[in-house]
Amino acid sequence: MRPPRPDDVIVQSTFLHSRTDPFTLTILRDGPANAVLTWPTNDAGFVLQTASSLANTSSRMPVTNPPAIAQGEHRLSVPATNSQGYFRLHRVVADRPVIASVTGEVDHGGVLTITGDGFGPRKQAAPIIWDTGSAQYVNGTNADACAGFSDGRLINQSVWLASENVAYSLSRPHRHPRLTAHYAGWGQNGNPGKMWLCPPDAPPTQKRFYLSFYRKVKNGGYRDGQAASGGGDGSTKIVRIAGSDYSGTGENVLCAMLYGMRNSHDLASAWIDAGDETTWVRWEIYVDTVKQWFDVWKDGHYHLGSYSGAGGTIEFRPAADWRFRAGLSHYQFDAPWLPADVGIEPMLFGYDDGHQLSAGQEVDLSEIYYDDTQARVEISDQATWNDAPDSQVHREAQGRLLDWSETRIRLVLFQGGFESLSGKYLYVIDAEGRASVNGWPLNNVSHKPKPED
């Protein structure tokens, strides 16, 4: 065998055994002065590095030139003018989701595939419930619970437990044109002070949940010490969070989100400055009794609310986990003790006035997302994730999750209230609530034909 010549390109194939689908980085001569590196596009979480020596690992640097994509491969041309050079694909351990590519059809109802790393685990791809009014997806399957319902018919209890006056509305103004139905409650259907839904009993293993829903009321709420006429009083609840064995006595009640005053039998907290909006408002609630987190977002921003027991706005988290606002000295959110055979759940959400001070009230609920993890996908109008209390952002939850793994997600795109998806950004959020720092521009999605399914 002849000795190597200076112009030789030496190929060394390295299989990456940390993956279930090993792949190879190859290098081939491309003319007198260049070489071409190729590797498959299912390389989520890996970066291409180069070094001038195998002995000096500190010389490894990321290759910043973007590769082209052709026939399922990355292809990168590099100069072959140095006496030697080495390349490798290095896996980056992400501390939050990292999106590497998005392909598919950018349209309401189109299917997108997201690749990357750090997406984290989910026990199933779909949330427990994704309800758009016209369709009720339970663990990913459309229960079609309201099929054939006429306008104003009271809903059945097949997906949600409900107060006695929750109706299926076809005629009331929906939040956006892509909806054909939502839920509503008003005086003609019974007590105008109670219009709430409740998911099925949580399993004993459920010690956390994430809930998102849109709500609109005709009469604004209790704010700055004043109650709006017909808008209830300081005991009117947006959500009551309890153990799944709640008996009505207050035992194992985590929190009643109220309009302003403390409810004496709630063990943990009575909290909220709901505002007096009479437009659609998105509420998001995450409760984790293991981490002792109780987080609330209102229209995309972290909502500090008010807490009568603390005399001001604070976060309901352990001090080490405060994100935006310190609490009282030595204050910590003490989640109630839950027996091993009791899960945590939103016992009701929507509107609950126990004092009959809501004459003439009308309540609308729309687009409900309920799950036992924060891991999800959102579309935003902002290029950088920001959920700080002063953030002004419009986000839409993506409830039709078809596949989910550490490195790949597939979903049916939901446009929601956006007039257009042009100029919007896609984010992946993991189970810890960490979002990809920068959104993937939907304008940069590689187009694939919309499947016929």
- Exposed e or buried b per residue across 16-25, where buried means at least 16 C-beta atoms within 10 angstroms of its C-beta: beeeeeebeb
Q: Is residue 136 a contact partner of residue 129, using CB atoms and an 8 Å limit?
A: yes
Cα gap 146→155, rounded to integer Å:
7
Task: Let me know whether 108 and 81 are in one domain.
Answer: no
Interstrand relation of 98-104 and 446-447 (parallel, antiparallel or unpaired): parallel
Task: Let me know whether 215 and 347 are in one domain.
Answer: yes
Task: Let me know whether 291 and 251 are in one domain.
Answer: yes
Task: Let me know whether 189 and 113 are in one domain.
Answer: no
Task: Let me know whether 325 and 188 are in one domain.
Answer: yes
- Exposed e or buried b per residue across 343-371, where buried means at least 16 C-beta atoms within 10 angstroms of its C-beta: bbbbbbbbbbbeeebbeebbbbbbbbbbb
Specify the CATH number for the domain of residue 80.
2.60.40.10
Confidence (pLDDT) at 328: 53
Is 350 among the domain residues?
A: yes
User: Which among 213-217, 288-292, 354-358 has the top mean pLDDT?
Assistant: 213-217
Confidence (pLDDT) at 148: 94
Confidence of residue 451 (pLDDT cuts 50, 70, 90): very low
Is 158 among the domain residues?
A: no
Task: For residue 95, give every residue at least 6 positions away whose Cβ sits within 8 Å of its Cβ, in sequence order, or none.
Answer: 118, 434
Parent domain of 53: 26-91
The larger pLDDT score, comparing residue 265 to residue 411, is at 411
Is 355 among the domain residues?
A: yes
Report the domain count for the chain: 3
Is 152 among the domain residues?
A: no
Task: Let me know whether 204 and 285 are in one domain.
Answer: yes
Task: Let me know whether 236 and 317 are in one domain.
Answer: yes
Residue 356, Ramachandran bin (φ over 0: left; ψ between -120 and 50: alpha; else beta): left
Q: How far is CA 96 from CA 63, 441, 451, in A?
A: 22, 18, 31
Q: What does the pLDDT look like over 326-371, one tens digit per residue?
A: 665 544 555 556 677 888 888 889 988 877 778 888 999 999 999 9
Choose the final residue of a domain: 42, 74, 91.
91
Cα gap 12→86, rounded to integer Å:
10
Task: Let me know whether 357 and 422 are in one domain.
Answer: no
Confidence of residue 44 (pLDDT cuts 50, 70, 90): low
Is 275 among the domain residues?
A: yes
Is residue 380 over pLDDT 90? yes
The larger pLDDT score, comparing residue 61 to residue 13, is at 61
Which residues pair with residue 41 across a beta bridge?
none
Specify the CATH number for the domain of residue 109.
2.60.40
Residue 148 CA to its chain's centroid (Å): 31
Task: For residue 46, give every residue at least 6 positions away whose Cβ sits within 8 Å of its Cβ, in sequence order, or none.
Answer: 16, 89, 90, 91, 92
Confidence (pLDDT) at 359: 83
Residue by residue, DSSP assigns 185-240 as EEGGGS-TTEEEEEPSPPPTT--EEEEEEEEEESS--EETTEEPTTS--TT-EEEE
Is 343 among the domain residues?
A: yes
Q: What does the pLDDT look like over 387-441, one tens digit per residue?
A: 999 999 999 999 999 999 999 999 999 999 999 999 999 999 999 999 998 899 9
Task: Let me know whether 292 and 333 are in one domain.
Answer: yes
Q: Which among 233, 206, 267 is positioned nearest to 352, based on CA atoms?
A: 233
For the segment 238-265, the average pLDDT, to the nearest whole number, is: 50
Task: For residue 102, give every residue at least 6 positions away whose Cβ sits within 8 Å of its Cβ, in sequence order, or none.
Answer: 112, 113, 114, 115, 426, 440, 442, 444, 445, 446
User: Which among 15-24, 41-50, 149-158, 395-404 has the top mean pLDDT?
Assistant: 395-404
SS3 label, residue 444: helix
Task: Let me know whether 383 and 356 are in one domain.
Answer: no
Choose the final residue of a domain: 330, 364, 398.
364
Is 129 among the domain residues?
A: no
Is 310 among the domain residues?
A: yes
Q: Is residue 126 a contact partner of residue 175, using CB atoms and an 8 Å limit?
A: no
Cα gap 379→116, rounded to integer Å:
17
